[in-house]
């Protein structure tokens, strides 16, 4: 009830009025039954715009810490994430990816829409990065169709790493739902890493066609590390100039 109240009465009307998102391909989302929603990931607000656009509730994983906080703030956060359909996942002990897959399988078995970002994290540079194979594992193990999604301009609404939304009435985000992808031809092969890579690349290729991004054959996490390393010498040089001054 809380999810639909936010979507239809509180957050939904406000976001649609301020940002007027363009949405295409809603007919590609199954009316019922399990399905995997697989978008590119430009901004934190992707997880706001996409569920608002979808006709069915989209379930994502969220860090377990969001559900076990103490005090008034912790309870409000737990209430909010539970209300919007997020499901907690334990990301400790190096099992983050498997925990997310296990959680996704549980949601799909309940006949729900499960959202997963194939890149694994937000793009640090606006480009589409190499996909992680978790989405392929889910698709092959569950038999659920994959709906590729291209998100456009969401990073112009909320910059990566920022909590501030900007440019209302000036930027129109776009959400393009692609045709469902099915992989019955690979049934029972979810442990074959070559098959997992082939399925993941096919999904990412469809996302690329929908989003119009530049593609780079590198994981987004590695791109972030390289960007951080490149920034450090510049930071040291600026500090040295300040000290000299």
Which CATH number does the domain housing residue 141 bear? Answer: 3.40.1130.10
Q: Which residues in 25-180 belong to E strands, given as ranges?
A: 35-39, 58-59, 61-63, 87-89, 113-115, 128-129, 146-152, 174-177
Mean pLDDT of the region 128-151 = 96
pLDDT in tens, 27-56: 999 999 999 999 999 998 998 899 999 999
Whether 138 contacts 101, CB under 8 Å:
yes
Residue 131 CA to residue 178 CA, distance in Å, equals 17
Q: How confident is the model at residue 237 (pLDDT cuts 50, 70, 90)?
A: low
Q: How confident is the model at residue 184 (pLDDT cuts 50, 70, 90)?
A: very high
Token pair listed for 131: 């996909």
- Tally the domains of the chain: 1
Q: Which helix (H) or strand (E) holds 233?
A: helix 220-244
Domain that holds residue 44: 2-244
């Amino acid at each position: 009830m809380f999810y639909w109240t936010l979507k239809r009465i509180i957050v939904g009307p406000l976001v649609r009025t301020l940002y007027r998102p363009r949405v295409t391909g809603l007919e590609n989302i199954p009316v019922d039954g399990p399905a995997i929603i697989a978008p590119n990931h430009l901004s934190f607000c992707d997880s706001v715009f996409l569920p608002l656009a979808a006709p069915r509730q989209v379930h994502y994983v969220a860090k377990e810490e969001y559900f076990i906080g103490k005090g008034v703030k912790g309870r409000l956060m737990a209430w909010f994430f539970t209300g919007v359909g997020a499901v907690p996942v334990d990301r400790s002990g190096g099992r983050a990816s498997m925990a997310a897959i296990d959680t996704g399988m549980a949601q799909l078995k309940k006949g729900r829409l499960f959202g997963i970002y194939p890149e694994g994290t937000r793009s640090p540079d606006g480009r589409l990065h190499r996909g992680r194979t978790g989405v392929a594992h889910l698709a092959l193990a569950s038999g659920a169709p994959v709906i590729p999604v291209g998100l456009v301009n969401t990073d112009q609404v909320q910059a990566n790493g920022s909590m501030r939304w900007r440019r209302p009435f000036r930027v129109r985000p776009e959400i393009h739902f692609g045709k469902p992808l099915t992989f019955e031809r690979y049934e029972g092969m979810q442990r074959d890493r070559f098959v997992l890579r082939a399925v993941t690349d096919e999904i990412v290729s469809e996302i690329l066609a929908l989003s119009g991004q530049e593609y780079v054959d590198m994981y987004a996490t590695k791109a972030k590390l390289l960007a951080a390393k490149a920034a450090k010498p510049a930071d040291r040089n600026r500090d040295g100039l300040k000290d000299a001054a």
